[in-house]
Structure 1
Amino acid sequence: MCLMLKIALENQYGRLLHSDRDPIPDVPAVYFVMPTEENIDRMCQDLRNQLYESYYLNFISAISRSKLEDIANAALAASAVTQVAKVFDQYLNFITLEDDMFVLCNQNKELVSYRAINRPDITDTEMETVMDTIVDSLFCFFVTLGAVPIIRCSRGTAAEMVAVKLDKKLRENLRDARNSLFTGDTLGAGQFSFQRPLLVLVDRNIDLATPLHHTWTYQALVHDVLDFHLNRVNLEESSGVENSPAGARPKRKNKKSYDLTPVDKFWQKHKGSPFPEVAESVQQELESYRAQEDEVKRLKSIMGLEGEDEGAISMLSDNTAKLTSAVSSLPELLEKKRLIDLHTNVATAVLEHIKARKLDVYFEYEEKIMSKTTLDKSLLDIISDPDAGTPEDKMRLFLIYYISAQQAPSEADLEQYKKALTDAGCNLNPLQYIKQWKAFAKMASAPTSYGNTTTKPMGLLSRVMNTGSQFVMEGVKNLVLKQQNLPVTRILDNLMEMKSNPETDDYRYFDPKMLRGNDSSVPRNKNPFQEAIVFVVGGGNYIEYQNLVDYIKGKQGKHILYGCSELFNATQFIKQLSQLGQK
């Protein structure tokens, strides 16, 4: 919901609840807030201070009766009862990042983080709070969607706890026919309503390698290596040196922010593309723009309009159809130039990371590890190479190797790896946690399968290495991806297509519309689902999202939404693993 209005517009037209505000007694006020104790207190204070003419109260999630009574009492005491015009529960406690992607809207991200859910010292009460927070957001999501899902989840995980609570919450709402939020979606339809969506709840612990994986697609790379949050990327740009009495010195870095939104056609087309293709497309767009710009200049010259007097151009435009077309396309041309500049800057920043850290080498090597392909280079060689990546890159690589291994390395080999990692400057706390996790999950005997993903290097020089290219791709492999389903996508495919597979055969089945409250059995008719929502309890990433997007392209008439309790990149995830690994 937060992204439906640009932040700039919010700043222009909105005010934060806790900012100092002067009374405007002849103006109505619209509130859009979470029903927290602090927010309710401030709203009551506004009523007492008679700040506005009338009050329209919109709560992001449902407000409790006791808090509603607090507002009523404050309005009564302030003689402002008639001024409270409307009170709405909006059920919008989630953030839509894409048309097919959402995350929980929680101001305290730590509350629903992977670390919070997997802390060894978490109490039952704390876990209940975490689960209730996730369920509240999911309930809001399905109220907004206007559909009651069929729920599937793995057993013995946090995802199962969410499923049980969500099933109960949906069931209770449906039971109250007069006040049900799912209007037109009645109990009578039952399991024979074939248009209902499937909700697949998966636990982050089914696949810890993917969030650590070095990626190769544009959007996932931007999220991995740049400061990218809520569809806004922040870049630091320096422009050469400046002269001063003390001599030449680097100029201060300028911070620039860019919004990567659905109206950005280049972003929409290429966010899921391999990076070399993106670099090539930026170059092609730039050449196309220059050709159009040169054509406008040529037409100006022909008609004796060397200057920039657009008024003169307008007067003469009816003389030449071409000039008319050129002039009318100027706004489009300027927007095209803006997007080219934007993606040139963003792609250049990404490329700097790729070249400085050899991210193409890491990506290709990790793909081979995860697909059990023969490795052409020793893992120790990469870890020990001072020019190959940061300490964090090396730790990510080793953790993927450790998680994906059919058999854990011997103690002697492990000590050798740990020494190399320590010498490279790595913090070993994440490894400590992964060792505990793997032992607990018995992953040594049944490691997660990542299929037979392969990458095909198309030569060390990309086609973008033509003369005058904005991107010097020399030394960066032009790796072409072969589509292969990641674990989350594979689980979805099994459940959406109602396939029998040992990986998902024991997944629990819940139908909140069924009268019986206990675990329902999978119906015999086994009709495939047309729509599904995948929700990862414990955090998701753009790699999984893109894998699902690529998967559904080959499924005509089907739709998938991807959601997660938090959206993290590898740096943020490895920090949580490090905290869990501390003794």
Structure 2
Amino acid sequence: LNTSSSATVDTAWKVLIYDELGQDIIAPLFTVKELHNLGVALHLSLKSDRDPVDEIAAVYFIMPIKDSISRIGKDLAECLYESYYLNFIAPIPDDLLGALATGALESNSQQTITKIYNQYLDFITLEDDLFCLRQAGKDSISYYALNHPPIRDIDKKEIIETIADCLFSVCAILVPIIRCPKGEMAEIIGERLYKKIRENLCDHRNSLFSFDSINMETLSFQRPVLVILDRSIDLASLLHHTWTCQALAHDILDFKSNRVEIEEVDESIVLNDGQHPTKRRSYDLMQTDKFWKQQKGNPFPIVAESIQEELERYRQSEEEVKRLKTAMGIEGDPQDLASSQLNDMTSKLTSAVSSLPELLERKKLLDAHTNIATALLDQIKKRKLDIFFETEEKIMAKQVQEKILIEILSDPTAGTPEDKLRLFLIHYICTPMMTQTELDQYLTILREVNCTCLAAITYIKRWKSMNNMNIVTQEREGGTTTMGMFSNLVNKASKFAMDGVKNLVVKQYKLPVTKIVDCLMENRSSPETDGYRYFDPTLRSADNVSSARYRQGFNDAIVFMIGGGNYIEYQNLQEYLQDYAKTRSSTTTKRIIYGCTEIINASQFIEQLTKLGQ
């Protein structure tokens, strides 16, 4: 959008045309205002009915599939735009490129196609260190799609190719060392990706690897490790109630593509019964939001206190502006100060006036974070989510008594039926042995509290019988500590009434995915990783473990979870990096990028487990 061989196109207005995947890729990265600043006058779906726009360039961002190529041909024939910049998310196959050329020649519009790019962007970047492969169409590569029997060979091959192609886009020019466990889908995809990168490295016609900076010598040092894992290494983390802000928002609110939607009470309208109606509001949580970037990984009580402190600082700034305005004899709203004609202004007042736009933007962001935190707190208190989180932490650390678990499951005031099902599933997964009599007792309790989706238990029972060796890895150290009352949130002026909510401090520990990544990055021997496959695309044969490369640790890692991932694992990896930096005297920094086939919350995962158990 921001570069072109023609300087005139840089400054001219553009039309951005995207398909469903293109929209999913763009949405987390740009707001409408940011697109406007890049010269995008209109942004439209490829499938929408579009009118001709004279003297304007069109930038297409689409997957190269037959229907989309046909639609581009139709746009060319109808002369919708002056020039066309075709950006394909993945490389366009030769047959479709030929079809595009044929269509352009038939409509005599070939001269309007200015550039064609293969962008290798077949993944969705949510944050600097977080990506997923799909939003739309994610069912085709979901945990259910990968595990439902019987899966046809043709479907399995399509899933493998899709994931391998996407990972090629993510890390191809980095030429990573690939590590993955044996015997599962991760191994198949790892081997396919290894072959794909190697084929492209050896193909001198491939423009992706034609630059001089890549050669076998320069690839010998500081290459990243790509760790490909199967979801089966840790099912519990996808069901776990959480206590950190971003993961909570994803778990209990409508949060996707860095946008959260919540129900808010519209106090400006009063219904006949005296109640206020609700309306849906959406908020963008972008990386440019400094408060969100700093606080998203913190436990909810800390975030709530930080919002309260920010509100107090804002009020002080606002009061200072009002005081100065009164001292200068200016009437009206503080916003009018910016346009007031004052000849004799003190430097302090000038500073206050110049800070008004920033102050108003701070207020806008604070209102957004206050509303989001209020929505989270409402759900925490309504469903007693602090109790569920604390109990699950103790279950996974083997610190909970069965009596306490049964009391929570039987309590009609605690949580929703789905909350209770999640709690039991975690207990079932983390319990190596459970008799049928014990299981029937829990099933009776769950039915009595109106739990549906009990077929999910049927699937987990079958999964446990096939994955005995994985059951132990679901256990972990952990637990919580209850601190004193919330220092800043119990006073009457607080926006957040935290009465009845525990101030839990979470013990820092490594999830299974983090333990694996730690061993592989440090090249530490471990029973969990010693048998992992080793693929180096610069070598002719896989598993050349005798090479010097195998003995080196890694400063950079890309972790990819097949079958869905979540913000809990992402944040645990980031906490591991922070702890690593604090405890090591070395100046070397490490970086971990977390990716998955889809970002999935517990409700969506239970839905998939239920279908698998039916």
TM-score range, shorter chain: over 0.9
The alignment status of 1:439 with 2:465, answered yes or no, reads yes
Contact 2:53 2:80 in 1 (8 A): yes
**Does the alignment pair 1:115 with 2:115?**
no
- Residues 520-577 of structure 1 show CA distances to partners (whole Å, capped at 9, x for unaligned) of 3263562210110000011100000000010011334111100000000111111111
Q: Does 1:161 align with 2:193?
A: no
Moved more, 467-476 or 18-27: 18-27
1:521 is matched with which residue: 536, 540, 545? 545
**SS state of the match for residue 256, structure 1?**
strand
Distance 2:277 2:114 in 1: 51
**Match for residue 86 of structure 1?**
115
What is the rounded CA distance, in whole Å, between the counterparts of 2:516 and 2:338 in structure 1?
A: 64
| Other structure's SS at 1:30 match | strand
Q: CA deviation at 1:126?
A: 0.4
The match for 1:251 is 276
Tell me if the contact between 1:35 and 1:60 (Cα under 8 Å) persists in the aligned partners. Answer: yes
The residue that corresponds to 2:129 in the other structure is 100
**Relative to 1, partners in 2 of residues 1:68 and 1:106: Cα closer, same or farther, differing over 3 Å?**
farther
* TM-fit CA distance, 1:477: 0.6
Partner of 1:402: 428
CA contact (8 A) 1:227 1:233 kept: yes
Matched, 1:62 2:62: no
- Output the TM-score relative to the length of structure 2: 0.90
1:580 corresponds in structure 2 to 612
Spell out the pairing of 1:117-516 with structure 2 (5 A cutoff).
Answer: 117-143=146-172, 146-182=173-209, 183-184=211-212, 186-189=214-217, 193-240=220-267, 247-308=272-333, 310=336, 314-316=340-342, 318-375=344-401, 378-405=404-431, 407-427=432-452, 428-443=454-469, 446-459=471-484, 461=486, 463-516=488-541
- What is the CA–CA distance in structure 2 between the aligned matches of 1:550 and 1:130, rounded to whole Å? 32
Report the CA distance shift for 1:7/1:296 in structure 2 as closer, same or farther (over 3 A). Answer: closer
Give the CA deviation at 1:127.
0.7
Tell me the alpha carbon deviations over residues 304-347 of structure 1, each in whole angstroms, 9 at most, x when there is no partner.
Answer: 22333735875437532221111111111111111111011000
Query: Could you say what the CA RMSD is over the residues aligned between the two structures, in angstroms?
Result: 2.0
Distance 2:486 2:100 in 1: 66
Q: Tell whether the 8 Å contact from 1:305 to 1:313 is kept in structure 2 after alignment.
A: no
Amino acid aligned to 1:202: L
Select the residue among 557, 561, 574 that pairs with 1:549: 574
- Of 64, 75, 84, 1:46 maps to 75
Pairing partner for 1:562 from 582, 587, 594: 594
| Aligned residues of 2:565 and 2:600 also touching (Cα < 8 A) | yes
Shift of 1:248: 2.1
Report if the CA contact (8 A) 2:180-2:229 is conserved: yes
Contact kept in structure 2, 1:131 and 1:162, CA below 8 Å: yes
Query: Could you tell me whether the CA contact under 8 Å between 2:84 and 2:112 is conserved in 1?
Result: yes
Residue 442 of structure 1: how far off its partner (Å): 1.6
Contact 1:242–1:248, Cα closer than 8 Å, also in 2:
no
Aligned length: 574
> Aligned to 1:571, which of 575, 596, 603?
603
Shift of 1:408: 2.2
CA deviation vs aligned residue, 1:376-408 (integer Å, no higher than 9, x gap): 852111111000100100000000001111x32
Task: State the distance in 1 between where 2:486 and 2:183 align.
Answer: 49
Identity fraction in percent: 51
Q: Secondary structure at the match of 1:483?
A: coil
Distance in 1, matches of 2:486 and 2:309, equals: 17
Between 1:340-349 and 1:37-46, the stretch displaced more is: 37-46
Residue-by-residue CA offset, 1:236-292 (whole Å, 9 max, x unaligned): 112359556xx4253332111100011111101100000000111111111111111
Q: CA separation of 1:185/1:111 partners in 2, compared to 1, >3 Å: closer, same or farther?
A: farther
CA contact (8 A) 2:233 2:474 kept: no
**C-alpha contact 1:152 1:507 (8 A) present in aligned 2:** yes
TM-score (norm. length: structure 1): 0.94
Separation of aligned partners in 2, 1:364 and 1:463: 22
Q: CA deviation at 1:141?
A: 1.1
Aligned partner of residue 539 in structure 2, secondary structure: coil
Match of 1:22 in 2: 51
Aligned mates of 2:388, 2:338 — CA distance in 1: 57
Matched residue type, 1:307: G
Corresponding letter in the other structure for 2:58: A
What is the CA–CA distance in structure 1 between the aligned matches of 2:108 and 2:315, rounded to whole Å? 66
Deviating more after overlay: 425-434 vs 462-471: 462-471
| Separation in 1, partners of 2:77, 2:59 | 17
Q: Which residue type is aligned with residue 102 of structure 1?
A: F
Contact 2:308/2:488 (CA < 8 Å) preserved in 1? no
3-state SS of paired residue (1:15): strand
Shift in alpha-carbon separation, 1:127–1:305, aligned structure 2, 3 A: same
The AA in structure 2 aligned to 1:523 is S
Contact 1:462/1:478 (CA < 8 Å) preserved in 2?
A: no
Letter in 2 for 1:372: K
- Structure 1 residues without counterparts, runs of 5 or longer: none
Q: Using the alignment, how far apart are the partners of 1:118 and 1:105 within structure 2?
A: 18
Secondary structure in structure 2 of the residue aligned to 1:250: coil
Q: Please say if residues 449 and 487 of structure 1, whose CA atoms lie closer than 8 Å, have aligned partners that are also in contact.
A: yes
Cα distance change of structure 1 residues 364 and 197 upon mapping to structure 2, 3 Å threshold: same
Relative distance call for 1:343 and 1:498 in structure 2 (3 A) is same
On the 8 A contact 1:237/1:256 being kept in 2, the answer is: yes
Distance 1:170 1:353 in 2: 47
Mapped to 2, the partners of 1:242 and 1:58 lie a distance apart of: 47
Counterpart residue identity of residue 44, structure 1: G
Q: Secondary structure at the match of 1:555?
A: helix
Measure, in 2, the Cα distance between the counterparts of 1:537 and 1:359: 28
User: What SS does the corresponding residue of 1:473 show, helix, strand or coil?
Assistant: coil
